[in-house]
C-alpha cells in the first residue's frame, strides 16, 4: 500500500511537470507570435486587443461556471493595481521583443524572481536573506552582460524587458493580497478586464503622441487573428501551469519556467534569425543560475 501511494505521488508529480512544460512552451510560442506582430501594429494596441479578447473569452467561461456572482470584486482598488501592473508588463515586453532578439528579452525578464523577493522585503516587510541579495546581484550582472551588445544599437530601449519583469513582480505581490478573495478564474478575468481600458487609453495616447510607430491604424486581419491566438494560448498556458500546481508542489515545477527561455532562444534563432552570441548565452546562464540558486535555497530540505 505505501508503495502504491508513493507510485501515485511520483505519477502525479510527473503529470505536473508535463503540464508545466506545456504551459511554458505555449507562453514562448505566444511571445513569438507577438514578435511577429510588433512591426505591423503598435505594442499598446496589440496588448489592448489581446486582453480584450482574453477578457471576453474568460468572461463567458466565468459566467457559465459561477454566474453573476463571479464578477463581484471584493477590493476594486487592489484589482485595478493588478491590472496596471500587468498592463505595464505587457507593453514593456512587447516593445522589448520588437527592439531585441526574443531570447535576450525573455532572458532579462527572468530577473523577476529576484525583483519579487526584493519588493517583498520593501513593501511586505519580508526578511531579505543574504541568498536573495547574492542571487539578485548575479542576476543583474547577467542582465548587464546580455544588454552589453545591444545598448549601443538600441540605447535605453533595451531596458524595456526590465520594466516588464518589474510589472510582473508587482502583479505577483498584489496577487498574494488578492488570493482567496475570489476563484482563480475570477481573478484571471478581473485582471484582463480591467487591463483592457488601461491599455486602450495607452494606445490612444500613443496614437496622439506624434510618434509614427505608435500610430494606430486599422490592422490587417492577420494581426487580429494573431492577437486571438495569443489570448487563447496565454489562457491555456496559465491553465496548464495552474493544473501543474495541483499535481506537484510549486517548488517541484518552478525550474520548468526556464524551459520558456530555451524555447524562446530556439524560436528566435530558427524563426527570426536571431542567433544568440556567446555573450548573450553567458548572461542568460547567469540569470538562470541565479534563479535556480534562489529556488534551491528556498526549497525545504528533506529529512533522510
3-state secondary structure (DSSP) of residue 90: helix
Residue 96 C-alpha cell reads as 522589448
39 DSSP 8-state letter: T
Are 47 and 94 in contact, with CB atoms under 8 Å apart?
Answer: yes
CA angle 135-275-25, nearest 5°?
65
pLDDT, position 304? 47
Q: Provide the phi-psi class of 210: left if phi over 0, else alpha when psi is between -120 and 50, else beta.
A: left
pLDDT tier, 301 (very low <50, low <70, confident <90, very high otherwise): low
List of residues 6+ apart from 218 with CB closer than 8 A: none
List of residues 6+ apart from 188 with CB closer than 8 A: 58, 235, 238
Q: Give this prediction's pTM.
A: 0.83
List of residues 6+ apart from 288 with CB closer than 8 A: 107, 110, 258, 261
3-state secondary structure (DSSP) of residue 212: helix
List of residues 6+ apart from 235 with CB closer than 8 A: 54, 57, 58, 188
Phi, psi of 288 (to 5 degrees): -65, -45
- Is the per-residue pLDDT at 136 higher than 60? yes
Q: What is the pLDDT of residues 4-53, one digit of tens each?
A: 566 666 677 778 788 888 988 999 999 999 999 999 999 999 999 999 99
State the Cα–Cα distance between residues 9 and 265, nearest whole angstrom. 33
- Is the per-residue pLDDT at 56 higher than 80? yes
State the Cα–Cα distance between residues 292 and 280, nearest whole angstrom. 18
Amino acid at each position: 500500500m505505501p508503495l502504491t501511494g508513493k507510485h501515485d505521488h511520483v505519477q502525479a508529480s510527473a503529470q505536473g511537470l508535463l503540464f508545466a512544460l506545456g504551459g511554458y512552451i505555449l507562453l514562448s510560442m505566444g511571445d513569438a507570435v507577438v514578435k511577429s506582430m510588433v512591426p505591423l501594429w503598435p505594442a499598446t494596441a496589440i496588448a489592448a486587443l489581446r486582453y480584450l479578447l482574453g477578457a471576453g473569452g474568460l468572461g463567458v467561461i466565468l459566467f457559465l461556471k459561477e454566474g453573476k456572482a463571479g464578477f463581484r470584486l471584493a477590493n476594486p482598488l487592489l484589482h485595478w493595481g493588478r491590472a496596471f501592473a500587468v498592463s505595464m508588463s505587457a507593453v514593456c515586453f512587447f516593445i522589448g521583443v520588437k527592439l531585441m532578439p526574443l531570447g535576450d528579452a525573455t532572458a532579462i525578464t527572468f530577473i523577476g524572481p529576484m525583483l519579487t523577493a526584493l519588493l517583498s522585503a520593501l513593501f511586505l516587510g519580508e526578511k531579505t536573506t543574504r541568498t536573495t541579495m547574492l542571487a539578485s546581484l548575479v542576476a543583474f550582472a547577467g542582465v548587464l552582460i546580455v544588454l552589453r551588445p545591444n545598448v549601443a544599437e538600441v540605447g535605453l530601449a533595451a531596458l524595456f524587458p526590465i520594466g516588464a519583469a518589474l510589472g510582473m513582480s508587482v502583479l505577483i505581490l498584489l496577487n498574494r493580497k488578492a488570493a482567496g478573495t475570489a476563484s482563480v478564474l475570477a481573478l484571471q478575468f478581473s485582471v484582463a478586464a480591467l487591463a483592457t481600458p488601461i491599455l486602450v487609453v495607452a494606445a490612444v495616447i500613443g496614437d496622439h503622441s506624434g510618434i509614427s510607430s505608435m500610430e494606430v491604424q486599422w490592422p490587417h486581419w492577420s494581426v487580429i487573428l494573431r492577437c486571438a491566438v495569443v489570448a487563447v494560448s496565454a489562457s491555456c498556458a496559465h491553465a496548464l501551469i495552474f493544473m501543474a500546481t495541483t499535481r506537484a508542489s510549486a517548488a517541484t515545477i518552478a525550474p520548468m519556467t526556464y524551459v520558456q527561455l530555451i524555447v524562446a532562444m530556439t524560436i528566435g534563432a530558427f524563426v527570426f534569425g536571431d542567433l544568440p552570441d556567446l555573450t548573450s548565452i553567458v548572461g542568460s546562464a547567469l540569470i538562470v543560475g541565479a534563479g535556480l540558486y534562489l529556488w534551491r535555497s528556498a526549497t525545504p530540505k528533506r529529512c533522510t
